Amino acid sequence: MSKEIKFNEETLALVHKLMNRYPEGKHKSALLPILHIAQAEFDGWLSPATMDYVASILKIQSIEVYEVASFYSMYNLKPVGKCLLEVCRTSSCWVRGAEDVVKHLEKRLGIKEGETTADGMFTIKTVECLGSCGSAPLLQCGASYHENLTFEKVDALIETYRAEGKRKSYTDLDYKNTL
């Protein structure tokens, strides 16, 4: 599973394009988007080696990357399943049954919130407001929002993802053409 921590040329070109959006000497600004890309490229999480690599690209101290990566909730500092199911649980989602969705997922996948299935396919995570209160309850997986959830929708989603067997990242949706 482990591969060399190095972007391929295409990704590296994208990274440099991102860096050039910021004025000379301010390339550190690109850190957040680059970490998203690194997370997507290197198994869905940011290992110390991945973060050191990002630091070397931006020519900054590794600790500056660790500080940032550990601050934001979308960066995984430990390995997660291929599909990280992030269920919103703040007020509007809670009043419309978010706790049921979590319980259903737990029962269905045989794991608790925060755990990963034995096959490494799914991780359940509860998160705070995702900004989709009007279509509550919802869960996010990769770049996709799955809204107005019912148990049937959740079941269908799990089946689809399991059949696909692919890792879902925030940067999916062909980001290389647009970012």
Partner 1 sequence: MAKVTIDGQTIEVPDGTTILQAARMIVDDKNYTGVNIAPPTMCYHSKLKTSGGYCRTCIVKVTKGSEKDPRPMPKPVASCRTTVMDGMEVVNLTSPEVLESRKAVVEFLLINHPLDCPICDQAGECHLQDLGYEHGLAKTRYDFKRRTFNLIDIGPYIKLHMTRCIMCFRCIKVADQITDGRYQGMLFRGDASEISTYISKAIDNDFSGNVIDVCPVGALTDRTFRFKSRVWFTKPMDAHRNCTKCKGKVSIWLKGDEVLRVTGRKDQWGEVQDWICNECRFEKKHVNDWVIEGPTHIDRHSVISANHYENLSSLKLDIGKQQKQLNKK
Partner 2 sequence: MGKKLLLEHINVPGIETLEVYRQKGGYASVEKALKTMTPNDVVEEVKKSGLRGRGGAGFPTGMKWSFLYKPEGVERYLVCNADESEPGTFKDRFLMEHIPHSLIEGMITSSFALGAKTSYIYIRGEYFYVARILEKAIDEAYAAGLLGKNILGTDFSHDCYVQVGAGAYICGEETALLESLEGKRGNPRIKPPFPAIAGLYGCPTVVNNVETIATVCPIINMGGEEYAKIGIGRSTGTKLISASGHINKPGTYEIELGLPVEEFIYSEEYCGGIINGNKLKAVVAGGSSVPVLPAHLILKTEKGEPRLMSYESLSEGGFVSGSMLGSGGFIVYDETTSIVKNLYTFARFYHHESCGQCSPCREGTGWMEKILHRIVEGHGKPSDIDLLWDIQRKIEGNTICPLGDAAAWPVASAIRHFRAEFEEYINHPEKIKDIKHYYSVHQLAGA
Q: Which residues bind partner 2 (CB under 8 A)?
A: 21, 23, 26, 28-33, 35-36, 58, 64, 67-68, 71-75, 89-92, 94-101, 104, 127-137, 140, 143-145, 149-151, 170-171, 173-175, 178-179
Nearest distance in Å: CB 6, partner 1: 20
Nearer CB in complex with partner 1: 2/178: 2
Tokens read off for 15: 């990274």
175 binds, among partner 1, partner 2, none (CB under 5 to 8 A by kind): partner 2
61 binds, among partner 2, partner 1, none (CB under 5 to 8 A by kind): partner 1
For residue 79, say if its preceding peptide bond is cis, omega within 30 degrees of 0.
no
- CA 175, CA 140: separation in Å to the nearest integer? 17
Residue 124: beta bridge partners? Answer: 85
Rounded to 5°, the CA angle 13-18-24 comes to 110
63 binds, among partner 2, partner 1, none (CB under 5 to 8 A by kind): partner 1
Residue 169 contacts residue 143 (beta carbons within 8 Å) = yes
Give the closest residue to 85 by CA, choosing from 97, 98, 96. Answer: 98
Binding site for partner 1 (CB under 8 A): 48, 61-64, 66-67, 70-71
